Amino acid sequence: MGELIIAGGFILTSNPKRPLVKEGYVVIEDDVITNVAAEPRDLPSGADRLDARGCVITPGFINTHTHAAMTLLRNYANDVSLKDWLERYIWPVEACLKKEHVFVGAKLACIEGALCGVTTMHSMYIHEEAEIQAAIEAKVRMIASPGIFSWIRDSAIRESRQLVNQYHDSANGRIRISLAPHAPYTVDPETFYQIRDLSDQFRGKTKTPVFWHIHLAETKDEMDKVKDAAKRWKKQGIEVPSRALQSDGPIEYLDALGILVPEGEEKSDVMGAHVVHPTARELELIQKRDIRVSHNPVSNLKLASGIAPTIEYIRRGITVGLGTDGPTLTPMDLLRTAELAALLAKGVNLDPTLLPAGDAFAMLTRWGAKAVFWDGDIGMVKEGMKADLVVIDFKKPHLVPMFDPLAHLIYSARGTDVRDVIVDGEIIVRNRSFLPFSVEDTMEEVNRVISELITSIEDEKT
Ligand SMILES: [Zn+2]
């Protein structure tokens, strides 16, 4: 690693105390930002130097909800309901996925994300160790979440425990693990209690928190899905407390089960993905329990799940970050997601002053960091923070002239304008080239494994 200077760009720091540094310098020593200044004194000699004149420098973008290896099924099924999408198309293929498939799919996601400025991914999937290996090779940050469903409870909980023991805070702290019950309707109460026990066992014993990652209130009928599932669970001898079943929504339901907060705590350690349809009582609950929200507007529109009440979240001080959801549905271009988040909030509320560019940028960066319990280390360009940075080339026809770099970033720039990316002090994308491993080979490998897999599935059907 050593020393690196990024010189001469507009720095959008995402630090509310000092949001913009014009023609500034960022000095990095090893994995940490040591100086952010307009004209720094004592620039280290012999440091690697990135000339950022005409560019905008930002913190790395944080994708708070994805399923990285789903690159393998990019646009495999479209224009269908979430239920059909999962049950008819996605789950049958996923049932045949092996570690080597997940590894190569996650490698592609890391490349795609990095080329769009995504330096941290929160990814829930199966064969999660393979995603971790991909993230380590790609030198990005990942919070890996082995998905837990009732029907694989024992193996999934075992896998979660083992991955926390082996990988949490590993790779110079770039890898973390979260516990990931898939959703309220795919995880029975017994499994939820076991996951809560597991996270309570880790509490205070790991350097950084092992929090929860769950799909929550994604569709309007989610509580009906829970009630349907409860009938099946009952046949298996698993009772759902009747008070919980009487809830109006899934967040209230989980609260009634008593699993939204660690033992003896007031505040939650849960990040909910989507949270499109909270009831009025659930909004109060999210605020009171400090449940973090990952907003996934592209996925929510594509699956017609609805539009999350982001303005209400922001007004109440609820932490909201941005997610792309699985790349089978949407690209990893988080800048596009940020723009859509802003436009949707304005459009549905008939008020163009809502969700200004500054809020969309906060969702991409510091609020995203907070949503995944990683604030303090990432999400700002600030002395003492980890050196995760993006250099975006603004010498482009669609970015000239520039009155307001922040508005340009959110409303005009695209992931393809990202020129250089630094994670943990190391340049992983330079001049739009991804450096850690071959992009060509990875794309070829993805095409090979997925065509083999689909052929074998089709053969089985006939
Ligand atoms: Zn998802």
> pLDDT by residue (tens digit) across 83-112?
888 888 888 888 889 999 999 999 999 999
Report, as an integer, the average pLDDT of 167-190. 98
CA of 77 to the centre of ligand 1 (A): 15
Report, as an integer, the average pLDDT of 345-359. 98
Residues 6 or more apart in contact with residue 24 via CB below 8 angstroms:
8, 9, 10, 11, 36, 37, 38, 57
- What is the C-alpha to C-alpha distance for residues 122 and 378, in angstroms, rounded to an integer? 14
Furthest CA-CA distance within the chain? 71
Q: Are 395 and 54 in contact (CB under 8 A)?
A: yes
CA of 38 to the centre of ligand 1 (A): 41
Quote the pLDDT of residue 81: 84
CA of 124 to the centre of ligand 1 (A): 7
- What is the C-alpha to C-alpha distance for residues 101 and 374, in angstroms, rounded to an integer? 29
CA of 270 to the centre of ligand 1 (A): 15
Quote the pLDDT of residue 151: 94
CA of 406 to the centre of ligand 1 (A): 29
**What are the structure tokens assigned to 371, written together?**
């949503």
Kindly tell me if the per-residue pLDDT of 331 is higher than 90.
no
The fraction of the chain above a pLDDT of 90, given in percent, is 87
Quote the pLDDT of residue 114: 98
CA of 176 to the centre of ligand 1 (A): 18
**What are the structure tokens assigned to 390, written together?**
């993006």
Inter-CA distances, 265 with 212, 261, 262, Å = 15, 6, 5
CA of 390 to the centre of ligand 1 (A): 25
381-403 tens-digit pLDDT: 999 999 999 999 999 999 999 99
CA of 217 to the centre of ligand 1 (A): 12
Q: Are 30 and 425 in contact (CB under 8 A)?
A: yes
Quote the pLDDT of residue 216: 98
Fold of domain 61-371: TIM Barrel (3.20.20)
- What is the C-alpha to C-alpha distance for residues 181 and 157, in angstroms, rounded to an integer? 10
CA of 40 to the centre of ligand 1 (A): 43
- 3-59+380-431 against 61-371: fold identical: no
Burial 412-429 (b: 16+ CB within 10 A, else e): bbebebbbbbbbbbbbbb
CA of 65 to the centre of ligand 1 (A): 6
Q: Are 59 and 389 in contact (CB under 8 A)?
A: yes
Classify 218 as helix, strand or coil. coil
**What are the structure tokens assigned to 244, written together?**
């919980």
Quote the pLDDT of residue 76: 86
Q: Model pTM greater than 0.95?
A: yes
CA of 183 to the centre of ligand 1 (A): 10
Inter-CA distances, 303 with 86, 314, 325, 343, Å = 11, 24, 11, 18
CA of 231 to the centre of ligand 1 (A): 25
Quote the pLDDT of residue 207: 96
Quote the pLDDT of residue 304: 92
Inter-CA distances, 392 with 53, 245, 350, Å = 10, 49, 31
So where are the chain's domains?
3-59+380-431, 61-371
**What are the structure tokens assigned to 95, written together?**
């049932």
Q: Compute the mean pLDDT over every residue in the chain, rounded to the nearest whole number.
A: 95
Quote the pLDDT of residue 66: 97
CA of 4 to the centre of ligand 1 (A): 36
Residues 6 or more apart in contact with residue 92 via CB below 8 angstroms:
457
**What are the structure tokens assigned to 218, written together?**
């994604």
CA of 327 to the centre of ligand 1 (A): 10
CA of 192 to the centre of ligand 1 (A): 18
What is the distance, to the nearest Å, from the Cα of residue 13 to the centroid of all Cα atoms in its chain?
Answer: 20
**Cβ neighbours, 10 Å, residue 185:** 22
CA of 344 to the centre of ligand 1 (A): 20
- What is the C-alpha to C-alpha distance for residues 142 and 145, in angstroms, rounded to an integer? 9
CA of 216 to the centre of ligand 1 (A): 10
CATH code of the domain made up of 3-59+380-431: 2.30.40.10
- What is the C-alpha to C-alpha distance for residues 27 and 381, in angstroms, rounded to an integer? 10
CA of 125 to the centre of ligand 1 (A): 9
Quote the pLDDT of residue 454: 84
**What are the structure tokens assigned to 432, written together?**
């739009």
CA of 82 to the centre of ligand 1 (A): 11
Inter-CA distances, 413 with 80, 124, 196, 354, 417, Å = 30, 28, 42, 20, 6
Residues 6 or more apart in contact with residue 250 via CB below 8 angstroms:
183, 184, 185, 216, 217, 222, 223, 226
Kindly tell me if the per-residue pLDDT of 1 is higher than 70.
no
Q: Check residues 327 and 157 and name the one with the higher pLDDT.
A: 157
CA of 21 to the centre of ligand 1 (A): 36
Quote the pLDDT of residue 16: 97
Report, as an integer, the average pLDDT of 340-352. 98
**What are the structure tokens assigned to 318, written together?**
């609820």
Quote the pLDDT of residue 46: 83
CA of 58 to the centre of ligand 1 (A): 26
